Amino acid sequence: MNLVMLGLPGAGKGTQARLIAQKLEIPTVSSGDLFREHDKKNTELGILARDYMLQGAYVPDDVTIRMISEWVSSQDGSKGFILDGFPRTINQAEALDEMLSNYGGLDMAIYIDISVTEATNRISTRVLCSVCQSPFSLLDGVKEGDPCNSGDGGVIYQRPDDKPVAVEERIKVYSRETQEVVQYYRTRDNLKTVLGSISIDEVKHEIINAIKSLENKKYGINRGSM
Ligand code: AMP
């Protein structure tokens, strides 16, 4: 199964990508996490991406496509993978079609649909673990500097681009660019839309059910209850 996750910042793409990847035992990668790793290590890609990220703008397509294509070619691809946060532009979607031509193509684009108001509220109260990147909410009494409750030694922090000015820009650029990508997959009939306002568990079940029926239809696999 080759899957991509689409949705506004804060829709829950990362959370669902991790849950689904665990269930299907396939790798997943977030383009944002990859950029943050490159940034930390001061690589050429990290330096190229840094300023765009801080402003909440998209990193240029050639840089982003290069980074994802390196990741895809480092995978054996036998069971598939989940890309979280890529593609976000039509150019990237077309480049992905090409990248996946040796990997059986894209099976499904999963679009987690939340409103702009909900996205803004979630992001402004979102903090993350510096190690496992699990999200927490300031509304639950978690504070920056707290240790992560998973015991991985991570510390809770707020992403610099989760501050209000960058968030506004990220939402604007998403509405301009990524809505077109949603439409791109809708017209190709491989889009699964899930409402992101229901619980994390319900979103996960909807996605798993959609994957099961696709596997059944395309490959004749029946996993029963997953
Ligand atoms: P995210 O963690 O997904 O919110 O991504 C953080 C930042 O990384 C974004 O605001 C962009 O600056 C950059 N980024 C991540 N994925 C992409 C992408 N597919 N295309 C362009 N920029 C990206």
Nearest CA to ligand 1 atom 1: 32
Domain residue spans in the chain?
2-115+165-219
Distance (Å, whole) CA 49 – CA 162: 16
Task: Decide if 88 is catalytic.
Answer: yes
Task: Decide if 223 is catalytic.
Answer: no
Task: Decide if 212 is catalytic.
Answer: no
The one catalytic residue among 18, 23, 50, 159: 159
Q: Which of 151-171 are b and which e, b meaning 16 or more Cβ less than 10 Å from the residue's Cβ?
A: eeebebeebebbeeebbeebb
HSE-up of 13 (CA within 13 Å, CB side)? 30
pLDDT of residue 76: 84
Which of these, 79, 74, 72, lies nearest to 101 by C-alpha position?
72
- Contacts for 139 with CB less than 8 Å, ≥ 6 apart: 125
User: Tens digit of pLDDT per residue, the chain (226 long)?
Assistant: 999 999 999 999 999 999 999 999 999 999 999 999 999 999 999 999 999 999 999 999 999 999 999 999 998 878 899 999 999 999 999 999 999 998 889 999 999 999 999 999 999 999 999 998 888 999 999 999 999 999 999 999 999 889 888 899 999 999 999 999 999 999 999 999 999 999 999 999 999 999 999 988 877 767 665 5
Strands of 156-157's sheet, edge to edge? 135-137, 126-129, 156-157
- Judging by DSSP bridges, how do beta strands 2-7 and 108-113 pair with one another? parallel
- Which atom number of ligand 1 is nearest to the Cα of residue 92? 19
The CATH superfamily label for domain 2-115+165-219 reads: P-loop containing nucleotide triphosphate hydrolases (3.40.50.300)
SS3 10: coil
The one catalytic residue among 36, 122, 170, 192: 170
Task: Decide if 126 is catalytic.
Answer: yes
CA 126, chain centre distance (Å): 16
Task: Decide if 66 is catalytic.
Answer: no
Q: What is the DSSP string of 127-160?
A: EEETTT--EEEGGGT--TTPBPTTSSS-BEE--G
- Which atom number of ligand 1 is nearest to the Cα of residue 60? 21
Which helix (H) or strand (E) segment holds residue 84: the answer is strand 81-84
Q: What are phi and psi of 99, to 5 degrees?
A: -60, -35
- Judging by DSSP bridges, how do beta strands 108-113 and 191-195 pair with one another? parallel
Distance (Å, whole) CA 184 – CA 29: 22
Mutate to test the pocket of ligand 1, among 16, 48, 59, 157 (most ligand atoms within 8 A of CB): 59
Which of these, 130, 126, 125, lies nearest to 155 by C-alpha position?
130
